[in-house]
Structure 1
Amino acid sequence: MPRPYPKEFRDDVVRVARNREDGVTIEQIAADFGIHPVTLSKWMRQADVDDGAKPGLSRTESVELRELRRRTRLLEQENEVLRRAAAYLSQANLPKRVYPLVNELAADGIPVAVTYRVLKLARQPYYRWLANPVPDAEYLEAHRANAPFDAHRDDPEFGYRYLVEEARDAGQAMAERTAWRICSDNRWWSAFGKRKRGKNGKAGPPVHDDLVGRIFTAPTPNALWLADITEHHTGEGKLYLCAIKDVFSNRIVGYSIDSRMKSRLATQALANAAARRGDVVSCVVHSDRGSQFRSRKFVLALSRNDMVGSMGRVGAAGDNAAMESFFSLLQKNVRDRQRWNTREELRIAIVTWIERTYHQRRRQVGLGRRDASSQYARET
């Protein structure tokens, strides 16, 4: 089954198709973006339905309908759990053990998560009962983790040193290093606010080492990606672009455009790239030390896709020179060509230049005077 295109990519293609110049056909737009013309026609019809120009079921209504069906199915499952639990626990002369009931409900198609949520059961004890006896080390580790967890739940403003003392009072003595490791693995952070960095402050510490060392080459696709963020001015305000480039083909494998430079801009670009490329396990994603790439959301996004992070030094543009070169081309070919009154106009121009000119027509020295589409054909 083919991978679905990211929503932001579909919206950008529809924008370009709607604002196409005279003489440009739908088939040409579809070819520039590497999709089938029928697919583009479907996207445009769905966009017309979403905008109210044509009758039909919009995406929002479809999502709401699926959500209502999901909730109905979930309520039916929860009612079945309560009915079966009441009948099971009302039987006389039987041990009141709930875990066998969880197995029976699971065999009938009711998820275990629904059952222990309705019956307010703990997940870990159930799976310990279901599986073989755990090793003594893991058993001791679980008990050690319970004490800091209870203390952190009651007083989330304290750090791991305070949790050590609380765990010792609860009968689970441990070293500070052990408590730090348990808190770090479970992401139990102190709730104390950190002082924000001002304009003249120093950049935050890197969350990854520099694995690239200014060597911008890759033997295979999806081995090394470069990521960075640039800003452009319009009459409505700034427009930010986060782009991700595959070093092997110099192709922009994912991007996200927004009016605000938040961590979501970087995570959405990474999600779009992963959705379009598929097998990205062990891919190195190199960036600068921007707060968006050091954010917890971006680090978790890398972990979810089994990717490896890499970061350059502060104020060293050469550590990400290949990406800076792409942004320089973008500025010369798009941003500096005219004054942009709206963000929408600039967004369409950026997307069109990336997908049509940079990918399809521009011959690059690093690829042996071939365009990025030729190298992309070698990848696939």
Structure 2
Amino acid sequence: MVGNELEAAVKAPDLIGRGFTAPAVNQRYVGDITYLPVGERGFLYLATVIDLHSRRLAGWAIADHMRTDLIIDALTAARRTRGSLAGAIFHSEHGAQYTSKAFAAACAAAGVRQSMSKVGSSADNALAESFNATFKRETLQGRRAFTDERDARLTSFRWLAPLQHRPSPFSARTAVPDHLRADPRKISYHPTSRINPVSKFRG
């Protein structure tokens, strides 16, 4: 978070009212950021965009920071996945990244209407919270932290990548391709990356 993001807060109404469903795909999404503990003191951060109809993971991004670029990358990945997000609602909490002018501009450019939960109410974004809890439970498997950044990125990729093709419950068991296992730094999840797994899903 940076100071100008806090000063330039963009408020949006709650357009879903804890109604975590949608009549069709590409109409309503929820998203959140969660931290990934790495080693003794380090962290990576995961941002997600989840379709409320199919429960599929439409977009995601991992970085070593929580700046607004992280959630913009996740939204852009979802936009690439679906071809267009025009007319869709994106629901989030009131974090500084989501209320920033930069993210509001990214939503406007994508034709997305922002929706926000009440301040301090995790129940208003319960599906995203549930996703994060399941992700960390199944990837960490009782460990306090990932061994190192390589472990965090590879384990996250192994769990997240198949969710472009599968609805909830959020669980997956699949192998990482050899070319990614050889160099985990290539797993950047940037929406312009040629290996971004979310770009493979169309549906």
Q: Give the TM-score of the pair, scaled to structure 1.
A: 0.41
Residue number in structure 1 paired with 2:97: 292
Q: Distance in 1 between matches of 2:77 and 2:9?
A: 27
Q: Distance in 1 between matches of 2:120 and 2:141?
A: 25
Residue number in structure 2 paired with 1:268: 73
Structure 2 contact 31–50 (Cα < 8 Å) conserved? yes
* Structure 1 position 205, deviation (Å): 5.8
Report Cα offsets for 1:93-139 as digits up to 9, x if no partner: xxxxxxxxxxxxxxxxxxxxxxxxxxxxxxxxxxxxxxxxxxxxxxx
Structure 2 contact 56–165 (Cα < 8 Å) conserved? no
In structure 2, the CA distance between the partners of 1:342 and 1:270, relative to structure 1 (3 Å rule), is same
Report Cα offsets for 1:164-212 as digits up to 9, x if no partner: xxxxxxxxxxxxxxxxxxxxxxxxxxxxx97x79xxxxxx965211101
* Structure 1 position 280, deviation (Å): 1.3
Q: Distance in 2 between matches of 1:337 and 1:361?
A: 24
2:46 corresponds to which of 241, 261, 269: 241
Structure ranking higher on relative contact order (CA contacts 8 Å, 6+ apart): 2
Any gaps of 5 or more consecutive residues in structure 2? 171-200
Q: Distance in 2 between matches of 1:283 and 1:344?
A: 35
1:208 corresponds to which of 12, 21, 28: 12
Secondary structure (helix, strand or coil) at the match of 2:97 reads helix
Aligned length: 168
In structure 2, the CA distance between the partners of 1:211 and 1:361, relative to structure 1 (3 Å rule), is closer
More strand by proportion, 1 or 2? 2
Quick check: 1:350 aligned with 2:156?
A: yes
* Structure 1 position 336, deviation (Å): 3.8
Alpha-carbon RMSD across the aligned residues, in angstroms, is: 2.5
Structure of greater Rg: 1
Secondary structure (helix, strand or coil) at the match of 1:291 reads coil
More helix by proportion, 1 or 2? 1
Q: Distance in 2 between matches of 1:271 and 1:255?
A: 9
Structure 1 contact 206–289 (Cα < 8 Å) conserved? no
Q: Distance in 2 between matches of 1:259 and 1:349?
A: 16
Matches within 5 A, 1:225-240: 225-235=29-39, 237-240=42-45
Structure 1 contact 232–335 (Cα < 8 Å) conserved? no
Identity, in percent, stands at: 30
Matches within 5 A, 1:54-133: none
Report Cα offsets for 1:273-310 as digits up to 9, x if no partner: 10111121110000000000011110000011111000
Any gaps of 5 or more consecutive residues in structure 1? 1-192, 198-203, 366-376
Structure 2 contact 29–49 (Cα < 8 Å) conserved? yes
Structure 2 contact 84–110 (Cα < 8 Å) conserved? no
In structure 2, the CA distance between the partners of 1:362 and 1:298, relative to structure 1 (3 Å rule), is closer
Q: Distance in 1 between matches of 2:19 and 2:166?
A: 26
Quick check: 1:308 aligned with 2:113?
A: yes
Structure 1 contact 243–269 (Cα < 8 Å) conserved? yes
Structure 2 contact 93–116 (Cα < 8 Å) conserved? yes
Structure 2 contact 85–112 (Cα < 8 Å) conserved? yes
In structure 2, the CA distance between the partners of 1:266 and 1:360, relative to structure 1 (3 Å rule), is closer
Matches within 5 A, 1:137-216: 207-216=11-20
Secondary structure (helix, strand or coil) at the match of 1:292 reads coil
Residue number in structure 2 paired with 1:321: 126
Residue number in structure 2 paired with 1:38: none
Residue number in structure 1 paired with 2:56: 251
Residue number in structure 2 paired with 1:340: 146
In structure 2, the CA distance between the partners of 1:249 and 1:335, relative to structure 1 (3 Å rule), is same
Q: What amino acid maps onto 2:152 in structure 1?
A: L
Structure 2 contact 46–60 (Cα < 8 Å) conserved? yes
Quick check: 1:221 aligned with 2:25?
A: yes
Q: Give the TM-score of the pair, scaled to structure 2.
A: 0.75
Report Cα offsets for 1:214-267 as digits up to 9, x if no partner: 001101111000010000111161110001100111111000100111010011
In structure 2, the CA distance between the partners of 1:311 and 1:232, relative to structure 1 (3 Å rule), is same
